[in-house]
A and B are shown apart, each in its own frame.
Chain A
């Protein structure tokens, strides 16, 4: 158990819909990362937050947005969903966002768009 909690574990939704994925980081970790993993794209970095502020942006679509709340939990919002958005979405956390620091992954949220 990494200490990173993600909900829901599985969800199935239709194209055009919107979903919210939730992440609670490890106790004491200030930085949260979101990743998307699909069979053909591997593990892709989406976005990172540190202490409530956006720190880095990766390959995140405009239809996707995220935020980190004062209690440090984070949410990833996916809207106007397309079939290609079906993937495993991981949240990870670290104490601070500096390189060399260890990041810990949650078990992921498996999204299926039908």
Chain B
């Protein structure tokens, strides 16, 4: 059962464009994490958000946790080819982490 739905599933944009990836659930999570995964490698943690409404910035990446702690968004400003990868959100509930369906991003030079 997928508790976290990500949209879009696939995204192909030109270098320099902005984009937003959404992570939605009907469940409340105590925290939410975003990962980036490159082909053949394991997911790498980008950020953890804990408080409802929290906004965190990591260079050109802005992460927001919804007020109700059910959803999150990742905004990338001026995307670069190095941003290409699979972006996964993961919600923490109880003692498990539930992963989203993933968003595959391709940034074309």
Interface pair A42/B40, CB less than 8 Å apart: no
Place the interface of chain B in its size category.
20 to 34
Interface string of B85-107 (1 = CB under 8 A from A): 00010001111111111100000
Interface pair A48/B95, CB less than 8 Å apart: yes
Place the interface of chain A in its size category.
20 to 34
Interface pair B48/A108, CB less than 8 Å apart: no
Interface pair A100/B98, CB less than 8 Å apart: no
Interface pair A103/B42, CB less than 8 Å apart: no
Is A34 an interface residue when CB atoms closer than 8 A count as contact? no
Known contacts being A104-B45, A105-B43, is A55 close to B50, with CB within 8 Å?
no
Interface pair A42/B48, CB less than 8 Å apart: no
Q: Which residue of A lies closest to B48 (CB)?
A: A102
Is B11 an interface residue when CB atoms closer than 8 A count as contact? no
Docked CA distance A52–B19 (Å): 43
A interface with B by C-beta (< 8 Å): 2, 4, 33, 35, 42-45, 48, 50, 55-56, 58, 88, 90, 92, 97-108, 110
Besides A56-B94, A58-B96, 16 other A-B contacts (C-beta < 8 A): A2-B42, A42-B102, A45-B97, A48-B96, A88-B40, A98-B95, A99-B30, A99-B94, A99-B96, A100-B50, A101-B92, A107-B41, A107-B42, A108-B41, A108-B42, A110-B40
